[in-house]
Amino acid sequence: MSTRAEHLLGRSISRTRQPVAVPPLRVAMNRLLFRSMLFTMGLIAVALYRLIEDKTVTWRFAKKQARTLARLSGVRVRVVGLERISRGPYMFTPNHQSHFDIAALLGYLPGNNRFAAKKEMFDEPVLGRVLRTMGMIPIDRENPLEAIQLLNQLACDAFSTIIFPEGTRSRDGRLLPFKKGPFVAAIHLGVPIVPVVCKGTREVMPKGKHLAIIPGDVEIVVLEPIPTTGMTYDDRDRLRELVRHRIAVELGQA
């Protein structure tokens, strides 16, 4: 069977798969597991980052814990398309369906990638400390130049960045309009954009369900990188629509 046929078959199966009833106790245990790991493992990561000179130890720990969370929660994560990327750095631009997107991308995308997050999240006592220690990027919508300055530092350190161009989670799974910021930043830094498609994360961690995790299948699809070398600020809208179109095609929403 050809790769294209397998892809279409897999999409057809995912659309027709019937939901499986999950015992409420399992959902409650997964909710407790998520919250406890978020705080305890986050604090351990902060301690490791400050105490151990080799910072890659902390990143290996954080990525392993994200994969452990998926396994213990009964979520099976499959990654497709890793052969399309090399060392980077890149600007990863995934669609955003649930909080589980972050765990899946942290655990299963290669490299020590920095997430961009709303500046307000950095004000939270525990989560904010974890985000700052791990070098995550606060996005101030009132001052986008500040974010670009932080991205410049990441470029010097050769880290890849993960930014959700929708800016928020989609409630119904439909792809939202994309913000311009990630594409302006990628052009400014001269790094390739890598569209990434998260599938199944909305089902395993629905928005508005108080951080409940439901066992199921998640697929992360890494699409072909788009070079930004030679692009200017005037190319931002074209780049944004190109990336959105490729993600929409993979989601079957084009």
Q: What is the pLDDT of residue 3?
A: 45
51: which residues sit within 8 A by CB, 6+ positions away? none
In this structure, what DSSP letter does residue 134 have?
Answer: T
The proportion of the chain whose per-residue pLDDT surpasses 70, expressed as a percent, equals: 83
Stretch among 22-26, 67-71, 238-242 having the lowest mean pLDDT: 22-26
pTM for the whole structure: 0.83
CA angle, corner 113, sides to 239 and 44, nearest 5?
A: 150
- Average pLDDT on 77-99 reads 93
**What confidence tier does 150 reach under pLDDT thresholds 50, 70, 90?**
low
Give the strand pairing for 114-118 and 75-80: unpaired
Q: pLDDT at residue 144 above 80?
A: no
- Distance CA(249)–CA(132), nearest Å, equals 35
Q: What is the pLDDT of residues 7-20, one digit of tens each?
A: 544 454 344 344 45
> Token match 């974890």: residue?
130
Instruction: Say if domain 24-251 classifies as CATH 2.60.40.
Output: no
Stretch among 53-57, 117-121, 145-149 having the lowest mean pLDDT: 145-149
Q: What is the pLDDT of residue 249?
A: 97
Q: What is the pLDDT of residues 180-208, one digit of tens each?
A: 888 988 998 899 999 999 999 999 988 77
Q: What is the pLDDT of residues 221-241, one digit of tens each?
A: 999 999 999 999 999 999 999
State the DSSP string of 177-245. Answer: PPPSHHHHHHHHHTPPEEEEEEESHHHHS-TTSTT----EEEEEEE---B--TT--GGGHHHHHHHHHH
- Distance CA(9)–CA(17), nearest Å, equals 12
For residue 204, count other CB atoms closer than 10 A to its CB. Answer: 25
Domain boundaries defined on the chain: 24-251
**What confidence tier does 129 reach under pLDDT thresholds 50, 70, 90?**
confident
The average confidence (pLDDT) of the chain is: 84
